[in-house]
């Protein structure tokens, strides 16, 4: 709370006029964050001209917004507010599944190899849970946006250079 007072210049008394507890503040930040990202993803999906652009736009929105949050905030959220972390997990799982499955279905085989969308999204979500989490990022001294970008690059382009043999 002292950090929040220092950053905003608002007294604790004023903050508690609008929020009953620190937990309510944290929950409000998470809900606003999810709502904001969801709206931005929706806008970029509607403006995309093809499935690859849709995926690229989604990753850009996520990485652009996630870097606004400090890794320690995400770590504390993961550790001390597991119900809110689970809310984030559900949101990202549902949104990623929607976007990828729509891209697979809409594009046919014009853009993607023949892969079952559920298998792809399940594997991607497992990778996200393992890599794009505060503990992994902090322990490996990474920036979370780099972890996201690397993971999506691996899933979209693989790790092999050159043409497929």
Q: What pLDDT is stored for residue 127 in this prediction?
A: 93
How far, in Å, CA of 161 to CA of 16, rounded?
Answer: 55
Vertex 105, ends 101 and 108: CA angle to 5°?
A: 135
Answer with the residue of higher pLDDT: 3 or 62: 62
pLDDT in tens, 97-153: 888 888 877 776 678 888 888 888 899 999 999 998 889 999 999 988 889 999 988
Map out the domains of the chain with their CATH numbers: 25-157 (1.10.357)
How far apart, in whole angstroms, are the C-alpha atoms of residue 99 and residue 109? Answer: 16
Give pTM, 2 decimals: 0.79
* % of the chain with per-residue pLDDT over 90: 30
Tokens of 16: 């508690």
Q: Answer yes or no: are the C-beta atoms of 132 and 147 closer than 8 Å.
A: yes
**156 contacts 150 by C-beta, under 8 angstroms:** no
Q: DSSP 3-state helix, strand, coil percentages of the chain (rounded to 5)?
A: 75, 0, 25
pLDDT at residue 157, rounded to an integer: 84
Per-residue pLDDT, averaged over 68-79, amounts to 85
Residue range 51-71: average pLDDT? 85
Q: Are 77 and 22 in contact (CB under 8 A)?
A: no
Task: Confirm if 78 and 17 have CB atoms less than 8 A apart.
Answer: no
**Token pair of 137 as six digits:** 């990022």
Q: Which two tokens stand for residue 89?
A: 């997990």
Distance of CA 86 to the CA centre of its chain: 13
Q: How many other C-beta atoms lie within 10 A of the C-beta of residue 29?
A: 14
């Amino acid at each position: 709370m002292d950090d929040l007072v220092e950053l905003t210049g608002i007294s604790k008394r004023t903050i508690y006029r609008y929020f009953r507890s620190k937990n309510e503040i944290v929950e409000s930040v998470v809900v606003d964050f999810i709502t904001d990202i969801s709206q931005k993803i929706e806008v970029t999906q509607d403006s995309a001209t093809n499935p690859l652009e849709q995926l690229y736009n989604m990753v850009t929105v996520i990485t652009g917004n996630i870097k606004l949050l400090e890794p320690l905030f995400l770590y504390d959220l993961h550790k001390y507010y597991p119900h809110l972390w689970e809310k984030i997990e559900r949101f990202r799982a549902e949104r990623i599944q929607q976007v990828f499955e729509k891209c697979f279905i809409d594009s046919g085989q014009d853009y993607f190899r023949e892969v079952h969308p559920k298998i792809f999204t399940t594997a991607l979500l497992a990778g996200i849970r393992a890599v794009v989490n505060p503990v992994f990022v902090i322990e490996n001294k990474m920036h979370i946006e780099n972890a996201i970008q690397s993971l999506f690059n691996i899933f979209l382009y693989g790790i092999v250079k050159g043409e497929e043999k």
